[in-house]
Amino acid sequence: MELKVQKTDFIEGVINAPPSKSYTHRAIIISSLAAGESELKNPLYSEDTMASLDACRALGCDIQIEDAKCIVNGTGGILKTPEDVVDVRNSGTTLRMMTSVAALAPNYTVLTGDESIRTRPMQYLLDSLGDLGITAFSTRGIGMPPVVVKGVLEGGSTDIKGDISSQFISSLLIVAPYARKSVDIQVIGDFISRPYVDMTVDVMEKFGVQVSYDQSSNSFHIDPQKYKGTDYTIEGDYSSASYIIAAAALLESEVRIKNLFSNSKQGDKIILDIVQDMGATVKVKKDEVKILGHGKLKGTEVDLKNAPDLLPTVAALGAVAEGVTKISGVEHARFKESDRIHTPALELSKLGVSLKEKKDGLVIRGGAKGGVVESHMDHRLVMALSIIGLKVGNLKIKNASVFEVSFPNFLGVMKKLGCWMET
């Protein structure tokens, strides 16, 4: 699919933020491990979250899908060995989290995914699972999928680097309550994307499990426990809403987004501070935000260590802002659906943007014009690039349908606000 975007002068409206992808993943997986029934309200049904849902079903959980809710009859942690290989498709979150969860199945579980997934680093997680009594290895011996998991989750202690992927830590935390004895997880080095781990602990606690964290030693302790089924409402997603917020910031606009909570643990809510610093007016209430755009932004300097998914969005804003935008702290973004430092740099350069690619970020001097760009099969890159087209016009994005991975109704929402986009 090719997405065409034309210059749009003004957007306005009131919309609901799409449900959080990160919270949906965690709620589906944790409720699948819970004892009893859970009702998940306002879940996101996207390619990524359906990968987690299908993986939980493959391991023996009964999940019923309805439009506005999802009924999960939990397993109590007693899983079955899948009848076939578990295909996580393009979902890195599913891969990392379900690798640990599969340790609760009695026999060998194989997890793999598409071409991008098979390049994702996994060795640190596999080593930590080994410390806890699990046989876990890469079939090719290179620390990347396909991976095989089998064994009894004994528990004990492990350490894991904190500067590769927070998903490793979340994965170990989610399964830890079902170990035979207590689990201690020591985070080594820089703890990147910490808000994602906070989100994991938040959902674990909502389902009745207690997690102890010692800030001085940067370590977690979890005693043997069981998740309990519960009714849980998924909050709105700042990651997906960032494209709406960015569009409203760089155009003349008056846009209100509901179901975004001011006390959210999502690291990506920093997008509000970023667009405000660049010149937009932002009004925050308890459960909604209002953006007033003035049609002109200035460059900014931002460390996205704890919000790497915002890199494409902020890069797009920098491409149309006056002055220089500096993005740092996101070397780990190179291990996402695409190399999210290199691919935005490559595509922005096609639009006439002056920029410099650095080890951990980008320096962008703006000047974007229309042109033809490629998605690199990365949902966040597609949506970010489309925002540039609203400002400069005449933009075409090839292989654009991949936005359905995280925001299936992206085009419908943007058109409702008055954005000129068509396929």
Q: What is the pLDDT of residues 212-270, one digit of tens each?
A: 999 999 999 999 999 999 999 999 999 999 999 999 999 999 999 999 999 999 999 99
Reduce the DSSP state of residue 233 to 3 states and report it: strand
pLDDT at residue 338, rounded to an integer: 85
**Is the backbone peptide bond immediately before 82 cis, with ω within 30 degrees of 0?**
no
Helices (H), 38-156: 47-58, 92-101, 123-131
The per-residue pLDDT for range 335-360, each reduced to its tens digit, is 788 899 999 999 999 999 999 999 99
pLDDT at residue 216, rounded to an integer: 92
pLDDT at residue 397, rounded to an integer: 98
Looking at every residue in the chain, the average pLDDT score rounds to 96
pLDDT at residue 156, rounded to an integer: 98
Question: Where do we find the tokens 């991008």?
Answer: 116
pLDDT at residue 298, rounded to an integer: 98
Token output for 203: 């959902």
Catalytic residue among 309, 339, 360, 378: 309
**pLDDT band, residue 181 (cuts 50/70/90):** very high
pLDDT at residue 149, rounded to an integer: 98
d(C-alpha 161, C-alpha 382), whole Å: 31
pLDDT at residue 192, rounded to an integer: 86
Mean pLDDT confidence for 75-102: 97
Phi first, then psi: what are they for 418, rounded to 5°?
105, 10
* CB hemisphere CA count around 105 (13 angstroms): 26
Indicate the pTM of the whole model: 0.89
Say if CB 277 and CB 245 are below 8 A apart. no
Reduce the DSSP state of residue 192 to 3 states and report it: coil
Question: Is residue 333 scored above 90 in pLDDT?
Answer: no
Question: Is residue 21 scored above 90 in pLDDT?
Answer: yes
CA 22 to the chain's CA centroid: 5
Environment class of residue 107 by beta-carbon count within 10 Å: exposed (0-12), middle (13-18) or buried (19+)?
Answer: exposed
Which domains can be identified in the chain, with CATH numbers? 3-18+236-422 (3.65.10.10), 21-213 (3.65.10.10)
pLDDT at residue 53, rounded to an integer: 98
Evaluated on CA atoms 402, 238, 93, 84, the torsion sign reads negative
Question: Is residue 101 scored above 90 in pLDDT?
Answer: yes
The per-residue pLDDT for range 315-331, each reduced to its tens digit, is 999 999 999 999 999 99
The per-residue pLDDT for range 277-301, each reduced to its tens digit, is 999 999 999 999 999 999 999 999 9
d(C-alpha 326, C-alpha 333), whole Å: 15
pLDDT at residue 414, rounded to an integer: 98
Distances, alpha carbon 98 to alpha carbons 89, 170, 274, 322, in Å: 13, 11, 33, 44
* CB hemisphere CA count around 4 (13 angstroms): 4
pLDDT at residue 287, rounded to an integer: 95
Say if CB 261 and CB 331 are below 8 A apart. no
pLDDT at residue 335, rounded to an integer: 78
Mean pLDDT confidence for 116-136: 96
Question: Is residue 204 scored above 90 in pLDDT?
Answer: yes
CA 406 to the chain's CA centroid: 8
pLDDT at residue 299, rounded to an integer: 98
Query: Is 48 considered catalytic here?
Result: no
Question: Is residue 17 scored above 90 in pLDDT?
Answer: yes
